[in-house]
Chains A and B, each alone.
Chain A
Amino acid sequence: MLRPFEIHEPATVAEASRLLARHGDDATVYAGGTELIPVLKDGLAHYRHLVNIKTVPGLDAIAAVGDDLRIGALATHRMIERSPVVRAHAPVLAQVAAGVANLRVRNVGTLGGNLCFAEPHSDPAAVLITQGATLVLARSDAERRVNADGFFVGILQTVRMPDEVLVRIEVPALRPGAGAAYARFALHERPTAGVAAVVVLDGDAVTAARVAVGSVGPVPARVPEAEEALVGRRPDPEVLREAAGRAGGAVEVLEDLYGSVDYKRHIVTVLASHALDEAVARARGRGH
């Protein structure tokens, strides 16, 4: 049941931030509402002040700056899925956006909202982490930049301060010789597991690799053990399989109704294998 609240309509990010500061625990950012409204309905939280940042113009803009991609925090999953700019610069992001929840949620749910809510069973974060994305947080007149892989600190917890607004996500272009991929496993409305991979090849050697796993632990996280098993080696099937096995073995896994620990580790291994195979194939396709 929804208890009464006011809706504020700031014209600028600074104004939004001031409203959040003024009302403290009684206030929250209100964007697409796809995570917030169900929480309010359930009575799991109550805020008397909703700061509607959709009234701030320009926060949903998607643009390429050089080869880098800038995605406004209020870009919906649907916009990201269909954006020619995203498809050109970070096609895996577009692919992932197309798979979030269902089409009604994708029509109004925002990438920024998804990241700030930090529901563990979720897809976009792992991809952003492997692509070295930066989240830009704003408070009044100041901006703060946080790496995607440092943004999440716990279940439903991020480093965002209560009076900060996530304004955009910056995704650097993939390096020459890099290939990106994402593989997921879902039986319910939310995913059970997801593995994102970016592999950079120079000739026959892996010069860099990022592997991030989402949905199985409290936060989406890189698995350095898997990455180390790839760098400096040839991207042969046995190497990729070993790295995938390391991903499944090393990642932090919580047991819940989506699966037991050993099954989830196994699924992560399977997904990592698929993601790495595909990332390598794409890296090869992009030259070098």
Chain B
Amino acid sequence: MDGRAPSMRMALTVNGGPVEAVIEPRELLLDFLRDRLGLTGAKRSCDVQVCGACTVLLDGQAVSACCTLAYEARGREVTTIEGLAADGHLHPLQEAFIEHAAVQCGFCTPGMILTAATLLHDVPAPTAEQAKDYLKGTLCRCTGYWKIIEAVVDAGRRTRETRE
């Protein structure tokens, strides 16, 4: 049995909407999202899965899109930063990042917020220590992280208050 031809048809969901595309097996998810779908929020930085600037969510899990084949998204749900705000309302993390000046150059911000979103999903109101530990694999060169941690803890607290 032969493997896939050099191009393949793929259907997936991106930010809640259906997408169909013809891709090459070697196409990277990051380039697919940025160049084909115009979702440029995910960035290419280290290109070796270390920095997290390319982070997107695949079925709710954070992955490094720079080292993930687009093929892996077939039949699955991709969430990028552009899909985080729901019905015109910013996600609490986005609000908190603005309020706490947890953004400087903004290049790490999409990946940082998406990763923090998965933390809040697992641990609804994390402490600063939990947030630091969870985010230790996501780099920022501008902020020194303090305001990012404050924003994450604050967003977690607010999310929990909203639920209660």
Contact = CB atoms under 8 A, between A and B. Distances in A.
Direct A–B contact in complex, judged by CB atoms less than 8 Å apart:
yes
A105 B49 contact: yes
B6 A102 contact: no
Contacts of A105: 49, 64, 137
Contacts, number: 79
Contact of B62 (A3, A50, A104): A104
Given A104-B137, A108-B63, A5 B26 contact: yes
A8 interface: yes
B85 interface: no
**Majority secondary structure of chain A interface residues (helix, strand, loop or mixed):** mixed
Given A37-B69, A41-B67, A2 B28 contact: yes
B3 A49 contact: yes
B55 interface: yes
Interface in B36-95: 47-50, 52, 55, 61-64, 67-69, 71-72
Interface residues of B, number: 31
Interface centre among B1, B6, B134 (most CB of A within 10 A): B1
Nearest to B138: A102
A105 B136 CA distance: 13
B4 A8 contact: yes
Interface of A: 2-9, 15, 19, 33-34, 37-38, 41, 49-50, 78, 101-105, 107-108, 189
Closest 9 CB pairs of A and B: A102-B137, A8-B3, A6-B3, A2-B26, A37-B67, A107-B61, A7-B25, A104-B64, A7-B4
Given A34-B67, A50-B3, A107-B61, 20 more contacts: A2-B26, A2-B28, A3-B26, A6-B2, A6-B6, A7-B25, A19-B3, A34-B49, A37-B69, A38-B49, A41-B67, A50-B25, A102-B137, A103-B134, A103-B137, A104-B52, A104-B63, A104-B115, A104-B137, A105-B64
